[in-house]
C-alpha cells in the first residue's frame, strides 16, 4: 500500500463512528474506499427508483438495456 498523503480532519465522534465500521487490520484507506463505493451504489439505486417513479422506465431490467 502506498503511504498516506492526505489528512481528513474529523471530530472525535465521527472518528469513533468510522472505527466501529471497520474490521481489525483494515486500514482507514480501505474502509473509506468501501464506504465511498457503498454510497455510490446507494445513490445509483435511488436514481433508478426515482426514474421508475417518474415513468422513465417501467422495470429495473429496462435500465440495463
CA-based nearest residue to 63, from 46, 53, 48 = 48
Instruction: State the Cα angle at 46 between 22 and 16, rounded to 5°.
Output: 20
Domain ranges of the chain: 26-64
Q: What is the pLDDT of residues 17-62, one digit of tens each?
A: 999 999 999 999 999 999 999 999 999 999 888 888 888 766 666 6
* pTM, entire model: 0.67
- Please tell me what DSSP assigns to residue 61: G
Predicted local distance difference test score (pLDDT) of residue 54? 84
Cell of 33: 474506499
Q: Whose grid coordinates read 472518528?
A: 15
* HSE, side-chain direction, 13 A CA sphere, residue 39: 6
Amino acid at each position: 500500500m502506498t503511504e498516506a498523503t492526505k489528512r481528513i480532519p474529523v471530530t472525535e465522534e465521527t472518528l469513533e463512528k468510522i472505527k466501529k465500521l471497520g474490521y481489525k487490520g483494515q486500514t482507514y484507506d480501505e474502509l473509506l474506499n468501501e464506504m465511498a463505493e457503498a454510497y455510490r451504489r446507494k445513490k445509483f439505486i435511488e436514481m433508478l427508483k426515482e426514474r421508475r417513479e417518474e415513468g422513465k422506465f417501467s422495470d429495473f431490467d429496462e435500465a440495463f438495456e
